[in-house]
Structure 1
Amino acid sequence: MTSTSMSPFTNEIERTDPPRRFTMPHFTSYKGDKDPNRHIKHYCGTMILYMNNDALMCKFFATTLQGETQDWFHTLPPQSIWSFNKLSFVFTKEYSSNRSIKMTAGHLFSIIKNPWETIRDYVKRFKAKKAKIVGWNENITTAAFRNELPTEHPLFGKLIMGEELTLAISYALAEKHALWDEAK
C-alpha cells in the first residue's frame, strides 16, 4: 500500500531535493494584497538560474507566501500541482482581483479639473496619473491635459491658441497661471 502525500505537489516534486550548495535568495513575501503577476515576475527573475528545475521552482515559491496566501496554498487539493506553470496559474487566478490595471494615455482624458481645484493641484494630479503610464505619447498627453480644462478657464485659451505646445511648455504655462491666480 502506497501512501499519498497531502501536499498540493505531486510525489515527484515532493521527492526532489535542491541542488548542492543552493541558497535560497531573499524574496519579499506575498501577503495577497498586491499584483500576483508582479510577484511571479520578481520570483522568476530572482530564480532565473533555476528556471529549468520545475520542482525547485514550485517548492521554493511556496516559501514566498505569507499569512492568508500561505493558508490558501495549504487548501489546494493534494497532488494537484505538477508544474510551476500550473502553480503560477492557480496562484494568479486566486489573486487576480489584486492585479494592477495597465493604464494607457486614454486614461488621462478622464482627469477633469474640478471647479474648486487650483490649477496647481490639477497639474499635480495630472502628473501623478501620467507617471503611471508606460510609453505615453507626447501629443495625446498634451491634448488630454489641455482638453480636460474647462473651456471658460483662461489657461484653456492660451493652450488652444499656442502652436505645437509641448507638455513641458503646457506645464510651464499652467505654473505661470497658478502664480498669477495666487497673486490676485
Structure 2
Amino acid sequence: MTTYDGTSDPSHQLSNFMSQMYLTDASDATQCRAFPTTLTKTELKWFDSLPPRSVTSFNDLAKNFLARFSIQKDMAKHAPSLLGIKQGDRESIHSYKERFDKACLDIQNRPMEVTIIGLINSLREGPFSHSICKKHPTSLNEVQDQTEKCINMEENSRLGDTSKARFSYPPRDNDKESRKKKTNPQRSP
C-alpha cells in the first residue's frame, strides 16, 4: 500500500486503503489501527494529535482525515480547459500531442467533439493545421491517423535535415581544366 504524503488527493488515498481493507475483510477496529501505517511523518503527527476516544469508527477517522487534508484535493478539470493548450512555436507535433493527451486523461466525461476541436484549434499555423482543417475529421480515430502521418513526416524530415548536415560534401569544381592550371602552372619557354 502506498503511503500518503499530503501532496495528493486524500480521497484517492482513502479509496485505495478501503479497497485493500475490503479485500482482506478487515473489521472496523482493524481498519482504524491499520490506517496510520499508510501515513508519512507530518500526516502521522496529525493522527497522533487526535484527542483520545474522538474516533469511534473508521467512518469518523475517514471524515477527520478528509476534513484535514481536503485542501490537497485535485481540482476538477473540464473539457473547455483543453482549448487553453496551445502548440508552441518550436514545439513538434509529437510533443504537443503528448501534452494534449496527458491533459485529456485528467478530464472525465469529455465529449469527443470538444477533444477534436481542442486538438485542431490549438495547432500553430502550418501544413498540418491546414490539412486537418480541410478534411474536417468526425472521429478521434481520424484525427489520430492524420496526426500519426504528420508526426512521421515531421520525424522523417528532421532526420533528413540532420543526415544532410552530417554528411555534407564540399562543392565540386566541374571545370577540370581550371584545376589543372592551378596545380600545374604552364612554364614559359
- State yes or no: 1:68 paired with 2:68: no
Secondary structure of 2:8's partner? coil
- State yes or no: 1:154 paired with 2:127: yes
Q: Give the distance between the partners of 2:112 and 2:81, measured in 1 at CA.
A: 14
Q: Contact between 1:31 and 1:66, CA under 8 Å: does it hold in 2?
A: yes
Bigger mean CA deviation after superposition, 37-46 or 90-99: 90-99
CA gap 1:171/1:134 in 2 versus in 1, 3 angstroms: farther
CA gap 1:92/1:66 in 2 versus in 1, 3 angstroms: same
Q: Could you give the per-residue CA deviations for residues 116-153 of structure 1, whole angstroms, max 9, x where no partner exists?
A: 32223212221232234445443321111001123x33
Count of paired positions: 156
Question: 1:169: which partner in 2?
Answer: 145
Question: 2:8: which partner in 1?
Answer: 34
Secondary structure of 2:33's partner? helix
Question: 1:77: which partner in 2?
Answer: 51
Q: Could you give the per-residue CA deviations for residues 44-78 of structure 1, whole angstroms, max 9, x where no partner exists?
A: 11111546x33332222123223111111111223
Secondary structure of 1:33's partner? coil
Question: 1:103: which partner in 2?
Answer: 77
CA gap 1:176/1:64 in 2 versus in 1, 3 angstroms: closer
More RCO (CA 8 Å, sep 6+): 1
> What is the identity, as a one-letter code, of the residue corresponding to 2:87?
K
Q: Give the distance between the partners of 1:161 and 1:70, measured in 2 at CA.
A: 58
Unaligned runs of 5+ in 2: 162-189
Tell me which stretches of 4 or more aligned residues in structure 1 moved more than 4 Å.
none
User: CA shift at 1:176, angstroms?
Assistant: 4.4
Matches within 5 A, 1:4-23: none
Q: Give the distance between the partners of 2:130 and 2:91, measured in 1 at CA.
A: 18
Secondary structure of 1:63's partner? helix
- Structure with bigger helix share is 2
Q: Contact between 2:120 and 2:132, CA under 8 Å: does it hold in 1?
A: yes
Question: 1:145: which partner in 2?
Answer: 119
> What is the identity, as a one-letter code, of the residue corresponding to 2:84?
S
Q: Give the distance between the partners of 1:89 and 1:171, measured in 2 at CA.
A: 46
Q: Contact between 2:137 and 2:143, CA under 8 Å: does it hold in 1?
A: no
Q: Give the distance between the partners of 1:90 and 1:163, measured in 2 at CA.
A: 51
Q: Contact between 1:29 and 1:66, CA under 8 Å: does it hold in 2?
A: yes
TM-score, normalization: structure 1? Answer: 0.71
Q: Contact between 1:111 and 1:148, CA under 8 Å: does it hold in 2?
A: yes
Q: Give the distance between the partners of 1:129 and 1:38, measured in 2 at CA.
A: 19
Q: Give the distance between the partners of 1:107 and 1:93, measured in 2 at CA.
A: 28
> What is the identity, as a one-letter code, of the residue corresponding to 1:88?
A
